[in-house]
Chain A
Amino acid sequence: MKKTSIVVSILLALAIAVAAQPGTILLNAAGATFPYPIYSKWFDVYHQKDPNVQINYQSIGSGGGIRQLLAGTVDFGASDGPMSDDQLKEAKFKILHFPTVLGAVIPIYNVSGVSGELNFTQKALAGIYLGTITKWNDPEIAKANSGVNLPASDIVVVHRADGSGTSYIFTDFLSKVSDDWKNKVGKGTSVQWPVGLGGKGNEGVSGLVKQTPGSVGYVELIYAVQNGITFGKVQNASGKFVKADLAGVTAAAAAAAKEMPDDFRVSITNQSGPTVYPISSFTWLLIPAQISDATKRDAIKGFLKWMLTDGQGYNEGLAYARLPKPVIEKEMKAIALIQ
């Protein structure tokens, strides 16, 4: 029966073609969209350096990274909001945090007639996201932007629809600068946003702001740079308006670098200092302390070592700041904790 033999041979060919090649170590990871550009670059470069290691990273948001790590469906996770004590308790196994890069969360906007940088006071950002400031020419925004012709149009607020570490960083900042925000909404990867549209991932928020006139959103710096979206300056704890850049982010991490806690969980938003960018943050890889599969464990450890040395060289090209030296040294020691 010619037909059956053809079918069988096709099936066999398919089965062989897609069978795993011996020696390939497949790692599945998921999590934050904040560092996705640098992670995808790193995993790609590392794969070329060591073709046996394939790290499949899906950017589904920090909340997703934490969840899937807890559920055990991924080998490691990634999040820009450090796991809370409750979440760590919920895990049936010990989880280690490894900072990877320093990044900045910036306010992006799409306002007709405004092509330059807008200055956002702390009150302005809180008010916009609380829904108390609804027009672009509101006095709170106007007073920091004399000379700019702000239209009287409605502000379209965009936030994250998914569980997001970027949201965590942003709401952490808002909670520090606005008691109203702290009491009404709080900080977290998924909060009850008073107003606004939800975009999926940093990608979704950038996409929405890019396409929606009158909108404002918050994303990681590289997303605005890569897509040519205007972003503004934010007022820091010392009262100065700072535009996000590597220097400002590194300054924010200076204090933390000296006193990094052992578990690496620290918040660096709203730090004091004239050049500090106020919405800065570390982002972490969440790695289980016990990995039973030796090949996977060695692959992860190998990657971490590379990431902390050669990998850091790629950060600045993608607008992330390098980790401070003391932090790198501390992390190198902590890699030994993975068993």
Chain B
Amino acid sequence: MTSTATTIPHAAPPYSGPRAFVQRLRHGDEIAHLITLTFAAGILLITSLLVWELWRTSYLSRTKFGWHFFWTQTWDPIFDNFGALPFIYGTLVTSVVALIIAVPLGLASAIFLSELAPRKISDAVSFLIDLLAAVPSVIYGLLGIFVVVPLMRSWLGPLLINTLGKLPGIGKLFAGPNYGVGFFTAGIVLAIMVVPFIISVSREVLLTVPREQREAALALGATRWESTWKVVVPWARTGIMGSIFLALARALGETMAVTMVIGNDPKISASLLRPGYTIAAVIANEFTEATGDLYLSALIELGLVLFLMTFILNGLARILIVATERGGGRPA
């Protein structure tokens, strides 16, 4: 009796175990699956290798200094005494200054682009702002040295010293002398670099807020601004927070633009107008010349610290942004 059953092309016969695997391998699908899987796993391998290498090469420094590394202020290559505190301080301070400048600017721009501007203008302007995000950081550094630093030195620095510097308490932040380079200058340059990220993500998030929310507020007599500020923005709050975290993560890791304008001095000082140092900047300046294995190891440990900081922030940012986009946002 002839069999009338036709085998469906590419259907696996019901073997089990290794024979089944080999059988499946004959099909292009499985091969394709395996190949792409291998490449994907390759990413896993590379990233693990990266973390492993950082961990391994910072061994000398980690074992010698232990947790003291995080609160030691000295950075002394002659006596082999290294501490991360000035660099962590500088990294955080410059990033915070950057956010203080960038968040209001960015959020305001995002509000303008999502609420007020006609769609065409909004799209065109966002397009231009996205281009700003593509500018390489060394070019920001160029402008930092030749535009921002002289600006700080000639009028912004004296202005800050004479106005905010005279106030009690906060005045300490703006005490002279006026170098031109320093935490504040680096903060300004960083702010320009991260503002496109805040705008881009916040705008998208604001656009997802349901129309009914706005309209309900307006129907109750709110002005346009009130409806935006008191209803729409809080709705998108978590997403906006996410964009801020993203910007912060970007600012923390920024190397070139910062090292060109921060003054390269590993000191902690209250005044924002004084020179400082960040983790990324010290690695860039001293890596190729760290004479001594402990010195090099200390620099790599700094790199590990930076990696962890950005890792945590990026993770938080993703969670927040995804949560807003999926859940449609809810006033928390």
Contacts and interface: CB of A to CB of B under 8 A. Distances in A.
A–B in direct contact per CB < 8 Å? yes
A192 interface: yes
Given A156-B177, A186-B78, A193-B265, A68 B288 contact: yes
A188 B291 CA distance: 11
B288 A190 contact: no
B180 interface: yes
A63 B265 contact: no
A198 interface: yes
B176 interface: yes
Contacts of A189: 77, 289, 291
B113 interface: no
B179 interface: yes
Interface in A181-230: 186, 188-193, 196-200, 208, 211-214
Interface in B63-93: 74-78
B150 A211 contact: yes
Given A156-B177, A197-B275, A212-B180, A61 B153 contact: no
A59 B188 CA distance: 30
B233 interface: no
B236 interface: no
A311 interface: no
B153 A67 contact: no
Nearest to B259: A200
B179 A197 contact: yes
A161 interface: yes
B77 A198 contact: no
A197 B263 contact: yes
Given A193-B265, A198-B263, A211-B180, A188 B78 contact: yes
A67 B290 contact: yes
Contact of A163 (B74, B150, B176, B286): B286
A126 interface: no
Query: Most chain-A CB neighbours within 10 Å: which of B179, B263, B289?
Result: B289
B264 A154 contact: no
Contact of B289 (A60, A188, A196): A60
A192 B264 contact: no
B285 A190 contact: no
A161 B264 contact: yes
A238 interface: no
Contacts, number: 85
Contacts of B290: 63, 67, 163
A29 B291 CA distance: 16
A142 B263 CA distance: 28
A154 B149 contact: no
Interface in B271-295: 275, 277, 285-286, 288-292
Contacts of A60: 288-289
Contact of A211 (B149, B285, B292): B149
Contacts of A192: 74-76, 78
A277 to B, nearest CB: 26
A70 B291 contact: yes
A196 B177 contact: no
Contact of A197 (B74, B75, B264): B264
Nearest to A30: B288
A80 interface: no
Given A60-B289, A189-B291, A208-B181, 6 more contacts: A67-B288, A70-B291, A193-B265, A196-B275, A198-B263, A211-B149
Question: Considering the complex of A and B, which 8 residue pairs feature the smallest CB-CB distances, nearest first?
Answer: A198-B264, A64-B289, A63-B289, A161-B264, A163-B289, A154-B177, A190-B77, A197-B263
10 contacts: A63-B286, A64-B289, A65-B289, A70-B291, A154-B176, A186-B78, A190-B289, A208-B181, A211-B149, A212-B181
